[in-house]
Each structure stands twice: as C-alpha cells, then as structure tokens.
Amino acid sequence: MRNRIILATVEEINLRGFKFTMSDLTKRLSISKSSLYEHFSSKDELIATILDIVLQDLREQEEKIYNSDLPVVEKLKAALLISPKAFEPFHDRVYDDLRLTYPEEWKKVTQFRQERMNRLSDLLSQGMETAIIRPVNIKIVQQMIISTMNDLNSYRFLSENNMTYPDAMSAMLDVIIQGISVKK
C-alpha cells in the first residue's frame, strides 16, 4: 500500500504540482483518509519520503557509474543521463513549485546538485590529467551543463521540438562532449 500511495502521489505531483491535497490522493487511490494516514502522518512526510527515494536512487545510479570501468567520457555521459528509475522525470514547473512550497526539501535538491557537480568536476579534471579531455574551464562547463539541463526540463521546449527529455539530454551531451574531447 505504501508504494501505491507513493506512485499515486507522483502522478498527482505531475498533474497538479504540490497543490494536490490528501483528499485528491484518497480519491485517486479509492481509499479512506485514515488508510492514507496509517502510512504517512502528513503531506509533508509524503513529499519528504518521495524526494528521499528519488535522491537515493540517483546517488546509487551515480555510484555504480563512478565505480565502473567505463572510460572517463562514457562515465560523464552516463552520469548526466541518469533519471529516477521509479518515476518519470519531473517537469521544470515541479522543481519551481518544490522550491517555493517546500524550501527545506529544496535544500536537499540543491545539496544533491552541488555534490553532483563536484563529482563531475573531479571527472573532468581526471579526463584533463589523462589528456582525454582538452584543458577547459571547469566552472564554465559546469554552468553550461546546469543551464542546459534546466532549460531541457521545459515541457514546452520538448513538445515544440517533439523530443523526450532523454533525447534532448543525449543531444546536449553530444555537443558538449565533442567540444571538450581531445581530437585524435
């Protein structure tokens, strides 16, 4: 039941953002409020649980990539293409809504993003040290990646260009990787 509640909540978030109510959730699940509150004491707890699941999932995927024997460039691509396995990628409006509605939870997202950029920086440095990646300003590459990833979360951009988020990310990565890779 707990997993059903979590999945239904993700559907509500993608539909209504964080404006959904626990009543919306009980209707979607065809359960009573008391059944819902047996598993989660509040909407805040439910949101925190979902965010923790998403961030843990992403960390585990990254860990596998960084501990793999993949070449540096392939690790970079793979690390940037991860997305939550259990849920569809959230649209940009969901991130904005989270930032405004749940600032404490948003801190977890910003901390994760910073950790992610630090690991990517280490990977870029490793690639430059081994002459796989040409010398570049890492801060500029980071900003390009962050800005582009934020822009690619736009539902409007994706629908106007008939692209999925993974397709757009893959195209963006191809351009960036080609730009920073050493030409042979």
Over the range 25-61, which residues count as b (16 or more CB within 10 Å of their CB) and which as e?
A: bbebbebeeeebeebbeebeebbbbbbebbbebbeeb
Residue 90: the pLDDT is 67
- In this prediction, residue 152 has a pLDDT band, given cuts at 50, 70 and 90, of confident
pLDDT tens, residue by residue, 91-142:
667 877 888 899 999 999 889 989 999 999 999 999 999 999 999 999 999 8
For residue 30, pLDDT beyond 90: yes
Residue extents of the structural domains in the chain: 1-41, 54-180
Please give the CATH superfamily to which domain 1-41 belongs. Homeodomain-like (1.10.10.60)
H or E segment to which residue 184 belongs: none
Confidence grade of residue 89 (pLDDT, cut at 50, 70, 90): low
Asked if pLDDT for residue 6 goes beyond 80, the answer is yes
Per-residue confidence (pLDDT) for residue 107, from 0 to 100: 94
Tell me if 44 sits within 8 A of 102, measured CB to CB: yes
Angle 122-115-52 from CA coordinates, rounded to 5°: 145
Reference 71, options 177, 167, 168; nearest CA is 177
> Where residue 177 falls among pLDDT bands split at 50, 70, 90?
confident
Q: What is the pTM of this model?
A: 0.82
Mean pLDDT, range 3-23, rounded to an integer: 92
**19: number of Cβ within 10 Å:** 11
**CATH of the structural domain 54-180, one choice from 3.30.70.1400, 3.20.20.70, 3.40.710.10, 1.10.357.10:** 1.10.357.10
C-alpha–C-alpha distance, residues 87 and 85, integer Å: 6
Among 1-5, 25-29, 178-182, the range scoring the smallest mean pLDDT is: 178-182
